[in-house]
Structure 1
Amino acid sequence: MGFLDAKDCKAFMAPILLLLGFFLSGLELTGAQSVGVCYGRNGNNLPSEADVINLYKSNGIGRMRIYEPNQPTLNALRGSNIELIIGILNNNLQALTDAAAATSWVQDNVRNYWPDVKFRYIAVGNEVRPGAAEVPFVLPAMQNIRNAIAAANLQDQIKVSTSIDTTLVENAYPPSQGSFSGAASSFIKPIIDFLVSNGAPLLINVYPYFAYIGNPQSISLPYALFTSPGVVVTDPEGNRGYQNLFDALLDAQYSALEKAGAPNLKIVVSESGWPSEGGDATSVENAGTFYKNLINHVKNGTPKRPGQAIETYLFAMFDENQKSPEYEKHFGLFTPGQQPKYQISFGG
C-alpha cells in the first residue's frame, strides 16, 4: 500500500477525529457532572428560575438539588440535561403516608415533567432526627413514593431516598468506630434496609465546618479545609491515615452502615459547604479554599473507599438573605446578582 496523500489522509482521519471528539466530550461531561450544586430559594432577591438554569449551564454544573417542587424551576429545567434531586419538605411527609397522595405527588411533580427533566433522586425529608415528630412518617412516605415511581415504570431511572446529617452517628473517632446511636438505630435501620432492597443510595449532608466550630480545641482549621500537610489522624483499623476532616466524617458513616448490615450501600453527599461570613472561621478565603479543595478531592474517594468518586452537592448556589442565623445567609457560591464569589471550576 502506498503512502496517503494529504487529501486521502484528511478523508481517512476525519471519522477517527469525529469519534475521538465524541469520546472526549463524553469524558468531559462525566467530569462536569461529578459535582452538583444545591439551589436553595430562601431569599427575596434571587434571579429568575430561567436565569438560574442558564447560570448552571454556563458554569458546567451538571447536577442540582432542590428542596421542594417548584413549577417555574421544573419548567426551566426542561431540556437542560441537568440531573435533579427533588426534595419533599418534612412538613409534607405525614400527608404522603397516604398512598393516593403519594401517587398524586409523583404525577404532579415527576411524571408531568419526565423525561424533559432528568430526575435522579427523590429526597423524602431532610435531616429528620431521632425524636422529631416526623420520624414515624419518613419510611411510609418513602415506600409510597417509591411504589408510585414503580407504577410509572421509572424505578430504574429515579431512586427514592432521604437525606440525613452526620449527627446520627456516634463514636466517630477514629472513623472505624462510627456507629448509629441507640436513638437513631430504630429509625434509620429500616430505612437502610429499604434503600438496599431498592438499589438506592443514602443521602448525607456532610459539613466539616460545623464539626470544626463545634470543637476547635481538638480540630485544626487546616484539617477542616483540606490543607493539612500530612496525616492528622491514624485509624488503627487498616492503618488508614486521614489528612482531612471530610474523609473522617464520611468514613465514620460508612463504618456505621457496615455495623448496620449495609457495607455496600452507596453514600451521596447531598450537601457540603462553608460560609463566607457571619460566624467563626468564616471568610471568603476560607470558603473558597474549602470549595476548591472539596471539588478536587471527591474525585478520589476516601481512605475507606479509595478510588471511588463521591457524588457530591455543594451548598449552595446563592447567598440566601432570609435564613438565620447570620452565617446561614452566606453559603452561596454566587451572589444574588449572579457574580461568582470564588474562582472555582465545577468540573474539577
Structure 2
Amino acid sequence: MQGNNLPSPPQVISLYQSNNINSMRIYNPDQPTLQALRGSNIQLILGVPNSDLQSLSDPSTALSWVQNNVFNFPDVSFRYIAVGNEVDPANGDPSQFVLSAMQNIYNAISSAGLQGQIGVSTAIAFSLLGQSFPPSQGSFRGDVTQYIDPIIGFLVQTNSPLLANIYPYFSYSGDPTDISLEYASFTSPSVVVTDGPYEYQNLFDAMLDALYVAIEGAGGWSLGVVVSESGWPSDGGFAATLDNEFTYNSNLIQHVNGGTPRRPNGPIETYLFAMFDENNKSPELEKHFGQFYPDGQPKFQLNFGAGRAWDVYAQNNTSVYRESISSV
C-alpha cells in the first residue's frame, strides 16, 4: 500500500480473485480494504500497528478496537489478528505492551464466542534469535527472553500459532561467502548442512527449524509457526534480480506443501511478500518485492490456484508498509 500508483482496494480484491489468491494480510485496519473484503471469502490476517499497542493494553480500548475492526465486519473472514509486527525491545519498540494487548484482544474476541475461530498472535522478526546455526542450537537472544517467553506461553494456552517473518534473502545477502545462492533459493542439488540426523538442502528449512528449536526451548513444544512474510527482491540490491525473485518464490510455493526436517508433516502456512512493487518505500531494495506491477500485471507467472490454496496478502502499516502472498 506504500505507493502512489497502486490500484484501489476493490481492484485489488478483483486481482486476488482472478489469480485464485485466497488469503490476505494487512498491517492496520484500513477501512476501505475491510469494506472491499466483505463477502469475498478471502481469509485475512489483520494487523495491529505497533503504534497502537500501548492503547490496547487497556481492556476497554481493546474491546472498542475489536468492535470497530472485527465485529463490524461479520462478512469478512478473519483468520488471525497480528498484534504488532517485528517488535524488538532492543529497537525501543513498545514490547512491554504486546502481551497485554494480545490478552485483551483475545478476551474481546472470546466475549463474542469467536475464540478458536480467530487466532490472536504477533509477528516476530527472525533477528530475535541469538543463535540459528546449526539449527539444533537455535535460541532466542538473551535480551528478549523476558519478552518472548510469556508470549509463547500465551500462544500455547490459546492454541494459536506464532507468526514469523523469515527471509533467506537477507541471510544470504549478508553473508554470500558462507551461504550460496543455491542454498538460499531452493536450487541446491544436494544436502548442504548436516545437523545430527537432520539434513538441509535449503536455508528456509534451516531457519525455520532453528526457530522451532528456540520455541521449544521456551516451552512451546506444541506451538505451530505461520511464516507471515517471505520473499526476494527483483532490483535494488545484491542478487536482487527478477530471475532470482521468480526462482525463490516459485520454489517456495512448491516447497511449503511439505514440512521441515524437524517437523516433516506439512504443509507450512506461508505468506509471500509482497503483492505489489511500491515506489514510496525506502531504501531502494524495499520497492521491489512485489509479485505484480502497480498496473496489475504479473512480474512473472506463479501458480496460486490449480486446486491449491496459494494465497496473497496486501499489507498496510502506518510506519512500515509491506505486502505479501501466501501459500497454503
- The TM-score with structure 2 as length reference comes to 0.92
Matches within 5 A, 1:281-296: 281-296=239-254
Q: Would you say the 8 A contact 2:173–2:238 is kept in 1?
A: yes
Number of aligned residues: 305
Equivalent residue, structure 1, for 2:221: 263
- The alignment status of 1:344 with 2:302, answered yes or no, reads yes
Equivalent residue, structure 1, for 2:107: 147
**Structure 2: which amino acid aligns with 1:240?**
Y
- The higher radius of gyration belongs to 1
Q: 1:310 offset after TM fit, Å?
A: 0.2
- The alignment status of 1:275 with 2:233, answered yes or no, reads yes
Equivalent residue, structure 2, for 1:56: 16
Equivalent-residue separation in structure 1 for 2:261 and 2:137 (angstroms): 14
Q: How far does the alpha carbon of each residue in 1:247-298 deviate from its partner, in whole angstroms, 9 at most, with x for none?
A: 0000000000111111110000000000000000000000000000000000
Equivalent residue, structure 2, for 1:138: 98
- The TM-score with structure 1 as length reference comes to 0.86
Matches within 5 A, 1:244-259: 244-259=202-217
Q: 1:194 aligns with which of 125, 150, 154?
A: 154
Q: 1:328 aligns with which of 281, 286, 301?
A: 286
Q: 1:314 aligns with which of 272, 276, 281?
A: 272
- The alignment status of 1:125 with 2:92, answered yes or no, reads no
Q: 1:87 offset after TM fit, Å?
A: 0.1
Equivalent-residue separation in structure 2 for 1:53 and 1:274 (angstroms): 23
Equivalent-residue separation in structure 2 for 1:346 and 1:243 (angstroms): 24
Q: How far does the alpha carbon of each residue in 1:7-55 deviate from its partner, in whole angstroms, 9 at most, with x for none?
A: xxxxxxxxxxxxxxxxxxxxxxxxxxxxxxxxxx111111010010011
**Structure 2: which amino acid aligns with 1:130?**
P
Q: How far does the alpha carbon of each residue in 1:316-340 deviate from its partner, in whole angstroms, 9 at most, with x for none?
A: 1001111111010000000000000
SS of the residue corresponding to residue 203 of structure 1 reads strand
Q: 1:133 offset after TM fit, Å?
A: 3.4
Equivalent-residue separation in structure 2 for 1:133 and 1:48 (angstroms): 31
Equivalent residue, structure 1, for 2:262: 304
Equivalent-residue separation in structure 1 for 2:100 and 2:3 (angstroms): 32
SS of the residue corresponding to residue 236 of structure 2 reads coil
Q: How far does the alpha carbon of each residue in 1:157-188 deviate from its partner, in whole angstroms, 9 at most, with x for none?
A: 10100000111112211101101111111110
Equivalent residue, structure 2, for 1:98: 58
Report which stretch shifted further, 162-171 or 280-289.
162-171
- The alignment status of 1:227 with 2:187, answered yes or no, reads yes
Equivalent-residue separation in structure 1 for 2:163 and 2:216 (angstroms): 16
Equivalent residue, structure 1, for 2:198: 240
SS of the residue corresponding to residue 294 of structure 1 reads helix
- The percent of aligned pairs where both chains have the same amino acid is 62
SS of the residue corresponding to residue 229 of structure 1 reads coil
- The alignment status of 1:157 with 2:117, answered yes or no, reads yes
SS of the residue corresponding to residue 319 of structure 1 reads coil
Is there any run of 5+ residues in structure 1 with no aligned partner, and where? 1-40
Q: 2:68 aligns with which of 108, 115, 122?
A: 108
Q: 1:171 aligns with which of 113, 121, 131?
A: 131
Is there any run of 5+ residues in structure 2 with no aligned partner, and where? 309-328
Q: Would you say the 8 A contact 2:277–2:291 is kept in 1?
A: yes
**Structure 2: which amino acid aligns with 1:224?**
A
SS of the residue corresponding to residue 114 of structure 2 reads coil
Q: Runs of at least 4 residues of structure 1 off by over 4 A?
A: none
Provide the alpha-carbon RMSD of the alignment: 0.8
Q: Would you say the 8 A contact 2:7–2:294 is kept in 1?
A: yes
- The alignment status of 1:207 with 2:167, answered yes or no, reads yes
Q: How far does the alpha carbon of each residue in 1:65-88 deviate from its partner, in whole angstroms, 9 at most, with x for none?
A: 000001111111111111000001
Higher helix share: 1
Q: How far does the alpha carbon of each residue in 1:68-112 deviate from its partner, in whole angstroms, 9 at most, with x for none?
A: 001111111111111000001101111111111100000000000
Equivalent-residue separation in structure 1 for 2:304 and 2:235 (angstroms): 22
Equivalent-residue separation in structure 2 for 1:178 and 1:133 (angstroms): 23
Equivalent-residue separation in structure 1 for 2:49 and 2:120 (angstroms): 14
